[in-house]
Structure 1
């Protein structure tokens, strides 16, 4: 277990698996790419990852009728992994980052804490947008959807 006061962590080796259709999520890897330190415990992080996996899987459920595994939709391989694995990880990681930033920004109630919260608002919105874009790419949809009224 990491020393929480300075935010250090030790490897947890926790892998979150869902339906075999989707790739597994490595808690340590997602902690690194989203830059979440030890202030967020492994148990809390695992819970939020599971919530995001459930949400992303629900949004992508229609793809299960098209292929056997999500990676079967891949058009290219990047660093020996299907591009769909990266997009799936991006969707989960960006949803996770939005939730973590939203939940942990209010612990500092000083003026700097309030300013950081206001700055994080854009970051939370950016994370949500990036999650949506990754999901749309996996579905083969454009980023912009325009509807005439």
Structure 2
């Protein structure tokens, strides 16, 4: 049975904290860069996720989201929209909802990836219950990311067909 050990951010002191530039993952020019410190706080990464592991997960998530949005982005660029920040959208809290959706997609895909990698093996009854809870968390994170991507593209979240 698989179980989950809590992921808690290590305490960073001025001596152990990475340089500020290492906490930002630069993105392609059209999409925003990702602030790892903000990601760590926003998705409540608890445990021993190192900055290096977080960075790798963020890069993989950025790549996946960017690829999924490539076909949506191309016509926008062709009409002169130079970046996601320039795309006309509602602003909430002083920020474009499109930027917030992009970050949400990246953050939740990265957390799902990290959660999958931080599982341990445990054959106890409580371990089985913890494993089921982790699967639910991973699925919810992936669902949240997909919903954010669909919201960006203006695609319905649910498709229902009669069979």
Same fold per superposition (TM over 0.5): yes
How far residue 76 of structure 1 moved from its aligned partner, in angstroms, is: 1.2
Q: 1:147 to 1:71 in 2, by over 3 A?
A: farther
- Distance in 2, Cα, partners of 1:103 & 1:21: 30
TM-score of the pair, normalised by structure 2: 0.79
Q: 1:37 to 1:74 in 2, by over 3 A?
A: farther
Aligned pair 1:144/2:158, yes or no?
yes
- Distance in 1, Cα, partners of 2:43 & 2:30: 24
How far residue 57 of structure 1 moved from its aligned partner, in angstroms, is: 0.4
TM-score of the pair, normalised by structure 1: 0.85
1:127-142 equivalence runs, <5 A = 127-142=141-156
Q: Does structure 1 conserve the Cα–Cα contact (< 8 Å) formed by 2:10 and 2:49?
A: no
Aligned pair 1:36/2:49, yes or no?
no
Q: Which runs of 4+ in 1 moved over 4 A?
A: none
- Distance in 2, Cα, partners of 1:42 & 1:137: 29
RMSD, matched Cα = 1.9
The structure whose residues are more often helix, as a share, is: 1
Q: How many residues align?
A: 143
